Amino acid sequence: MQKIGLLHFSAWHAVREQVAIYSAWAAVVWLLHERGHMPMVSSAGSLVGILSMVTGLLVSFRASSSYERWYEGRKTWQGIQSTTRNLIRTLVFTLPPPSNSPYDAQRTAAIKELCSLVCAFPFSVMYRLRDQPGIEHAELRNLLPVTLIESYRSTPLQARERPTAATEKRGSFVVEHSSAPEEDRAIAGLNAPPSAERFYPHALPTGEPSNLPLSLIRAMQAYLAVWHETKLPSRDSPSEGTSVLDGVTFAACNNALKEFTDSLTALERIRDTPIPLILQIHLQLLLLVYVGAVPLQLVRTIGIWCIPATAISAAVFFGIDRAAEELSDPFGVEPNDLPVARFCADLHREYLELLGEGGGSAGNTWEPARPATLSSS
C-alpha cells in the first residue's frame, strides 16, 4: 500500500506560488530599504494594524462557513447511510424462509431487486454530486435491474437531444463541481435568465434521466406500490394470498424514500450554493494588500528576516483560504473531501452480507431460539 504523507493533505501544494511571489516581493522591499529608496516604509505599520481585524474576521468567516458545509455534508451522508441500512434491514427480514414454493421464490426475487435499488441509490447520488451522470458505472450496472437499464437505454432519440443541466453552458463556463474552482462555479451559477429548453424533461445522450437518484426513488416507489398491491399465496394462507409487502413495511419504506428525497435535496443545496462571489473577490483583494504590507512593516525592525516572515504570513493566510475552498465542495475526489466512495462501498458490502452473499460472519443469519408454545389438547 502506498504511503501518503501529511503534506498530501495540506494546502502547501496550492499556495507555493503565492509564497514564492510574496517572498520575492519581500526581498525587493529589503533591497530597496537597504539602499535608502524606501524611507517611508514605517507608515505601512498603521495599514497592517487597520486591516488586521477586518482580515481576521473575513478569514475566520471563510474557514468556518466552509467547514460548516463540509460537516453538514457529512451529516447528510450519515442520514443516507442510516436510511439505507434501515431500509435494507427491513426488507431483508420480510424475505420468506427457504422453501420450494414458486411464490416464495417470486417474493424473494422482488425484495432482492428492491434492495439492489436501495443499495444503488447512494452510488447514484455520489456520481450526481460529482457531475458524472449515467448508468455506465460498474456499481450501477451490477445493482440496477436489467429491465430498468434497458428502459433507460431505450429512450427515444428526440428526448435525448435537449441539453442537460449538467452540460449546459453559461457564457464560457461549464459547471463541474468536483474539479472546477469555486469562483468558476459561482460565476456559472449567476442569475442569468435560463433557456426555455431547461424547463422541458430531458434525458442524457445515453438515455438516462438528468437526475438519476430521483429516478431511482421513483422506481423504488413503483416497486413498493406494485408489491404492496400484489397478493401471492403463502404458507400461512395458501388460498387467500398475502401482500408481498405488508402495510407496516410499506409505510416504513415510504418514509425511507421521503428521507432519501430530503437528503438528496440537502446535498444538492450544499453543492450548488458556493460562497458568494462578492465575498471571495473582496477577501482576495484584502489578502493581497495585507500580506503585501507585511514586509513594509517589518523591514526596519528585523531587516532581511522580513523575507521568511512574509513567506510564513503568505502560507498561513492563503493556506487557510485554499483549505476553505477545498472544504466548501466536500463531494469531489480531492484528498480532504469526504470519502463518499468508501461509504457507498461499505453499504454494498453490508447489503451482501445481510443477504448471505458476501461472506462475513455467520451471525448475520443467526436467529434466537423460539419459545415453546402450548399445544392444544
Q: Does the structure show a pLDDT above 90 at 228?
A: no
Q: Judging by DSSP bridges, how do beta strands 242-243 and 231-232 pair with one another?
A: antiparallel
Any domain includes 373:
no
Any domain includes 1:
no
**pLDDT by residue (tens digit) across 318-372?**
988 888 888 888 888 888 889 999 999 999 988 888 877 655 555 555 667 666 5
The pLDDT of residue 45:
60
Any domain includes 371:
no
Query: In whole numbers, what is the pLDDT of the chain averaged over residues?
Result: 78
The pLDDT of residue 329:
85
Any domain includes 366:
no
The pLDDT of residue 2:
43
**pLDDT by residue (tens digit) across 93-121?**
777 666 666 666 777 787 888 889 999 99
Q: Which residue has the higher pLDDT, 195 or 80?
A: 80
Of all residues in the chain, the percent with pLDDT exceeding 70 is 70
Under the banding of pLDDT at 50, 70 and 90, the label for residue 172 is: very low
The pLDDT of residue 171:
39
The pLDDT of residue 264:
95
Q: Does the structure show a pLDDT above 90 at 71?
A: yes
Q: Does the structure show a pLDDT above 50 at 286?
A: yes
d(CA 213, CA 219): 10
Over residues 1-18, mean pLDDT = 65
The pLDDT of residue 81:
95
φ and ψ at residue 81, rounded to 5 degrees = -60, -45
φ and ψ at residue 234, rounded to 5 degrees = -130, 175
Provide the number of structural domains found in the chain: 1
Under the banding of pLDDT at 50, 70 and 90, the label for residue 187 is: low
The pLDDT of residue 214:
92
The pLDDT of residue 333:
84
Under the banding of pLDDT at 50, 70 and 90, the label for residue 168 is: very low
Under the banding of pLDDT at 50, 70 and 90, the label for residue 49 is: confident
Any domain includes 376:
no
User: Of 165-169, 228-232, 257-261, which range is least confident?
Assistant: 165-169
The pLDDT of residue 192:
57
Any domain includes 40:
yes
d(CA 257, CA 114): 12
Q: Which residue has the higher pLDDT, 253 or 370?
A: 253
Does pTM top 0.85 for this prediction? no
The pLDDT of residue 174:
47
d(CA 43, CA 32): 16
The pLDDT of residue 189:
58
Q: Which domain holds residue 310?
A: 10-191+202-358
The pLDDT of residue 96:
65
Any domain includes 221:
yes
One-letter amino acid identity for 223? Y
The pLDDT of residue 256:
93
The pLDDT of residue 101:
64
DSSP structure class, residue 46: H
- CA distances to 47, 182, 208, 340 from 124, in Å: 51, 23, 12, 11
d(CA 171, CA 138): 34
Q: Does the structure show a pLDDT above 90 at 36?
A: no
Any domain includes 248:
yes
The pLDDT of residue 83:
95
One-letter amino acid identity for 94? T
Transcribe 89-143 into DSSP letters: HHHHTTSPPS-S-HHHHHHHHHHHHHHHHHHHHHHHHHHHHTT--SS-SHHHHHH
The pLDDT of residue 177:
56
Under the banding of pLDDT at 50, 70 and 90, the label for residue 279 is: confident
E strand intervals along the chain: 231-232, 242-243
